[in-house]
Structure 1
């Protein structure tokens, strides 16, 4: 079956100090129909972000006045879950893990394929499309997925445990929702990459592992050893409600 391509027009803040690369990225983003604002310093990005709403941030790490990842750290500390895509030359495994642990939604290393970059932007925006759509949803009733103390409301991009909200990034939410649609069903890393990240490249297995770990930590119950997201060693992961 041919995969449906969802096109979402977004307002994007690009933080990149390489002028040639920034112009190339900006051109291709505009070709997709996006509105792009561009700065080349961490401080300028913080000013822009404080003055205007953005649907996506694209950050370089090695900027003249600091690490672009600091922007993501600050946003996540403020419980701001705007999608963040890192575009950087730092391609070490620990660098990627640092980015994912900081709560970024995707991590792309330079040099990169323009077509892959465009696809990754589409995928990040697709994963937050439900959140964007809810701005126009005036219905007071929303279908929910209930698993004992855990409640998932897809239309509101909302998760709660014991009636307390759990803040998830767009990717974390998409992963949880996908696993929870078939409790007990085990998915391999490749299957999760295909269904949640929309990629078949096995080189992104670390992305799955890091996102699973963050999600499991956020869903952990202080009074129980139960984990909603469980590892099936040598196979993959599954969603397991409490008994």
Structure 2
């Protein structure tokens, strides 16, 4: 498996490279966001994981991740950063980060999370090869969800989703008319992201509403359950 480490501190970058290579991974380094995007666009084979510092020169890690998600919604991104505030984590998840680890970090925890993300990536690639010719779509109301393309079409308007957004929407569809607590969503959808906050989940839901609801301020499909979480209704009365 192939990892891109985006880190401007040379000592940290080299240390990560050594430890990842000892685990048997192929590793490339980028010292800033521009270089990271350049390497990503030209990589063959593609990277299976990106380890991304958020405090980068010229282009922040947040902006780097936003630009990355415009062209690649599937590659896992692990934020490795000294930023510890809740709003930093929320912003990172909003940009499309899958995992969040703060510096200083425990190497065994980092390697464990890397293994989880790479195993998920491997399963996704294997499933994609197995079902490539099978249509993977869901329809409800005026909405069509294309899981293969990471797209939602609502009344003719097409929206692109991130990996986590598509996973969350699939989970709601699989649990139609079931009250889902934020804790359950964190466990089942963000099963490997201990840093997630309730506010982050709410932000993801608000973005989904903008894509699937005719009137996001008065949702009919994705309903809030006060003090608990959410209930998805495929075909409301």
Is 1:168 the counterpart of 2:161 in the alignment? Answer: yes
> What TM-score, normalized to structure 2?
0.79
Label 1:16 to 1:200 Cα distance change in 2 as closer, same or farther (>3 A).
closer
Label 1:104 to 1:223 Cα distance change in 2 as closer, same or farther (>3 A).
closer
Aligned partner of 1:68 in structure 2 is 61
Alpha-carbon contact 2:80-2:100 (below 8 Å) kept:
yes
Residues 101-112 of structure 1 correspond to what in structure 2 (within 5 A)? 101-112=94-105
Label 1:43 to 1:182 Cα distance change in 2 as closer, same or farther (>3 A).
closer
> In structure 2, what is the Cα distance between the partners aligned to 1:104 and 1:200?
10
The answer for unaligned runs of 5 or more in structure 1 is 1-8
Alpha-carbon contact 1:16-1:63 (below 8 Å) kept:
yes
Offset at residue 183 of structure 1 (A): 0.6
The answer for unaligned runs of 5 or more in structure 2 is none
> In structure 1, what is the Cα distance between the partners aligned to 2:233 and 2:22?
43
> In structure 1, what is the Cα distance between the partners aligned to 2:159 and 2:119?
21
Give aligned pairs, total.
232
1:63-106: CA deviation from partner (whole Å, max 9, x where unpaired): 23341222112233x35314322211011122222222223223
> What TM-score, normalized to structure 1?
0.78
1:187-208: CA deviation from partner (whole Å, max 9, x where unpaired): 2222122111224847643432
Label 1:26 to 1:218 Cα distance change in 2 as closer, same or farther (>3 A).
farther
> In structure 1, what is the Cα distance between the partners aligned to 2:162 and 2:179?
22
Label 1:148 to 1:34 Cα distance change in 2 as closer, same or farther (>3 A).
farther
Offset at residue 14 of structure 1 (A): 0.8
Could you say what the CA RMSD is over the residues aligned between the two structures, in angstroms? 3.1
